[in-house]
Structure formats: C-alpha cells, structure tokens
Amino acid sequence: MDVKTLCLGALSRGPASGYEIKKQFQEGPFAHFHDAGFGSIYPALNKLNQAGLVSCTAMEQDKRPDKKVYSLTPSGRLALVNAISQAPGADSVRSDFLFMLFFAHLLSARQVEGLLSDRVEWYRTTVARMKETACASAPERPGERFVHGLGIALYEAMADYIDDHRHELVGEILLMDQKAVAS
C-alpha cells in the first residue's frame, strides 16, 4: 500500500489535514502496521486532490496557521475499496532489534540485557496505552477493534516471550564471555 492509499484510508474515518493524518500514522490506530512522513503525505494529498479522489477546504484558524482539510470524495471511497480488494502482498517486517539479537554472541551480556529490558518496557507501556484507548467506540468499524486487539495480543506475546527466555539467553552469553576470558 502506498502513501496515497494510506491517506485514503485515514480520510475514510473523517476529514483531516495532512498534519492530522501524520498523527494518526504515528500515534493513532495505524501506527502499528504502517507509517509515513510529511514529505510523502503532502505530495500524496496533492495528487489525490488532482485526481479528484479527495476534496480540499482551506480553513482559517485563530492564532494558528491555516489548515487544509481534506475529505474523501465518492470516487475516492471507491478507489479505497478497490485497493483493499486486491490480494494483499506479503507483510514486510524490518527489525533492527531482532537483527541485533540474532548476533547476541557478538555483544556483551550487558548490551543484550539493555536491549531486552528497553524493549519489554516499551511493549508493556504501549500495551497499557492501547488498552486505555477506548476502542469500544466505533461499532460501525469492527475491523478496527479486531486489528487493535491483535496488536495488543502480539505485543503481549512478544513481551512474555522475552521475559520467559531472557535469563536463558543472557546466561549463555555470560558463559561464553567467561570462556573467552579463560582462554
């Protein structure tokens, strides 16, 4: 899914400015499976506007810069439905964290412990924040609740696995370090 489709999706939940769309990608409900920066969102919105898939209304604001609020047009909604009706491509995950852990034997036990602790903490606080987010709203969007719950389940599984196995891993690294010193 390119940024244009992501914007269509964000706008299907209601009109928004580029700035607000960015926030949805960063902190909002999309945060956990897609991202985009200003440099791709603003050009995407302009192209969508030219193609007639969104409409744009300038809004003057008091003590704030002007806002351009975009809304999905009927053909925009159609384009979104069309895009999500194609067979999905494979998920792509790029995790420096897992790459680094994979080579844990090249790091010190301290480094590995730091990595694991930081990550677990991040998962725990993120899950707590996600659980607060009243997703009980939007009864007309069951997909949102499903994806939200799936995200929570995933992050909890991740944190649990790390907590259950971290001592094992760190212990082995510690042993290897001792042998290296002994030799």
Partner DNA sequence: GGTTGCATGTAAATGGTTACATGATTGT
Partner DNA sequence: ACAATCATGTAACCATTTACATGCAACC
Contact set with a second copy (CB under 8 A): 1, 5-6, 9, 12, 29-30, 32-35, 80-81, 84-85, 88-89, 91-107, 111-112, 115, 140-144, 146-147, 149-150, 153-154, 156-158, 160-162, 165, 168-169, 172-173, 176
CA nearest 42: which of 73, 67, 75?
Answer: 67
Residue 98 contact partner, candidates DNA, a second copy, none, CB within 5 to 8 A by sort of partner: a second copy
39 is a contact residue toward DNA (CB under 7 A): yes
Token pair for 155: 């992050």
Residue 128 contact partner, candidates a second copy, DNA, none, CB within 5 to 8 A by sort of partner: none
User: Residue 105 burial (CB < 10 Å; 0-12/13-18/19+)?
Assistant: exposed
- Taking each helix axis as running N to C, give the angle between helix 3-11 and helix 18-26, from 0 to 180 degrees, rounded to the nearest 10: 100
Is residue 30 within 8 A of residue 9, CB to CB? The reply is yes
- What character string, x for contact with DNA (CB under 7 A) and - otherwise, covers 108-127? --------------------
Residue from 68, 77, 148, 166 binding DNA (CB under 7 A): 68
Is residue 144 within 8 A of residue 29, CB to CB? The reply is yes
Residue 47 contact partner, candidates DNA, a second copy, none, CB within 5 to 8 A by sort of partner: none
